[in-house]
Amino acid sequence: MISTVLRNLLSNAIKFTENGEKVSIVSTSDKNELTVTITDSGVGISKDRIDNLFNISEAYSTSGTKKEKGSGLGLKLCKEFIEKHHGKIWVERS
């Protein structure tokens, strides 16, 4: 299931990043913890949407830079899986 979560997160990063821009993934681990950081140089997301990004009642569908469609539920499902396994997920603006 972790591969599905990572695939969804990477897909979102790619979906909102123009051709020629960057998406990167970095992972670090010790024997008890895995940290995965995904960054992109995409179009960004407004602060008010970040605050509600993982709320099912606030799920919204947005077209990506290549006009892809999504249900708006993927991040909520990723968060539920990660938290069920005592992990954390969040979004930051740079």
Number of domains in the chain: 1
Find, among 54, 2, 53, 1, the residue nearest to 27 by Cα: 2
Sign of the alpha-carbon dihedral angle for 92, 61, 49, 90: negative
pLDDT, tens digit (0-9, with 9 covering 90-100), for 64-88: 656 666 666 788 899 999 999 999 9
- The answer to whether position 93 is within a domain reads no
| Mean pLDDT for the stretch of residues 6-24 | 90
- The answer to whether position 94 is within a domain reads no
Domain that holds residue 63: 2-84
Quote the pTM value: 0.77
- The answer to whether position 29 is within a domain reads yes
| Mean pLDDT for the stretch of residues 12-28 | 90
